Amino acid sequence: MKRALITGVTGQDGAYLSQLLLGKGYKVYGLLRRSASADVVGERLRWLGILDEVELVDGNLTDISSLIRVIQQSEPDEVYNLGAQSFVKASWNQPLLTGNVTAIGAGNMLEAVRLVRPQARFYQASSSEMYGLIQEAHQNEKTPFYPRSPYAVAKLYAHWLTVNYRESFGLHASSGILFNHESPLRGIEFVTRKVTDAVARIKLGLARELPMGNLDATRDWGHARDYVRGMWLMLQQDTPDDYVLATGRTVSVREFCRLAFAHVGLNYQDYVRVDPAFLRPAEVDVLLGDPAKAKQALGWSADVTLEQLVAEMVEADLARHTARG
């Protein structure tokens, strides 16, 4: 039985990755950062019906001693570093925390693996936000980076450190440069889930409007289920490498709103308004990934369409609010 350790296990990607690995017969360990809200942190794992199947172990990305202990305890064959302060907007308000967790935390994890379990295969969750002010129309593994937020800067540090540990110490360390991927498990603070949750509340008469930021920003959106499959495929390769995972299609936030409201028979223009409070200090206007390398080398492609994704998210939020009465 293969053993995997996942940081960020209680997040969207961690939950879907746990489900995937359990289905393949893995023993899954999840790093759990203790907090006062410990009773609800496993909600995504519970939603997927796998909370009791994942062994949660106490640790923190900012405390390398805890990471060493966890790796000694779990003896993983594969380590997936998904943990981060991952909300872009919050990174301007908490830049040092973002650096400590998202950047230095990845370094702590790499160092702990090198010291305790150098034979383990390591996956680093890199981000399309690293491209920022895009230098090419389609972003691939060779496109120059131009980060536009403290979050993106922190992710870039973690990305290059992963490359460095691969080249310097011979670790089987790969990075997935993932473009935006969503699901019903997406956090409510992210724009896609903010939209689908508002659509559900408006349809059910629980809200009247949806305040938004930049409606003209465009993103390459896929389903998290597809993307965690790509993570796993990277660690099954003989040679570690870096891969872009994307759909190759970009649409605006405005179009995402239109699709979500149209799913319940409403016109987004009747409910969406722009609120300057939600505008970012430095915007990433366009992201559009080129997944050709992943398709050729991994046999990976995004199967779920944007329309299917939006419909699934809206239906899940309708079900949530209906269940709450």
Q: What is the DSSP string of 224-256?
A: HHHHHHHHHHHTTSSS--EEEE--S--EEHHHH
CATH architecture of 3-181+221-245: 3-Layer(aba) Sandwich (3.40)
Burial of 204 (0-12, 13-18, 19+ CB in 10 A): middle
Please tell me the predicted confidence (pLDDT) of residue 33: 86
Give pLDDT tens digits for 249-296: 999 999 999 999 999 999 999 999 999 888 777 777 889 999 999 999
Q: Is the pLDDT score of 41 beyond 80? A: no
> Which percentage of the chain shows pLDDT scores above 90?
90
Q: What is the mean pLDDT of residues 165-173?
A: 98
Q: Terminal CA-to-CA distance of the chain, rounded, Å? A: 43
Boundaries of every domain in the chain:
3-181+221-245, 187-219+250-287+304-324
**Angstrom distance (rounded) from CA 146 to CA 187:** 26
User: Residue 175 corresponds to which tokens in the numbers above?
Assistant: 């990075």
Q: How many CA atoms lie within 13 A of 2 on its CB side?
A: 18
| CATH architecture of the domain covering 187-219+250-287+304-324 | Alpha-Beta Complex (3.90)
Instruction: Render pLDDT for 215-262 as a digit per residue (tens, 0 to 9).
Output: 999 999 999 999 999 999 999 999 999 999 999 999 999 999 999 999
Q: Mean of the per-residue pLDDT values for the chain?
A: 95
pTM of the model: 0.95
Assess contact for 309 and 221: CB atoms under 8 A.
Answer: yes
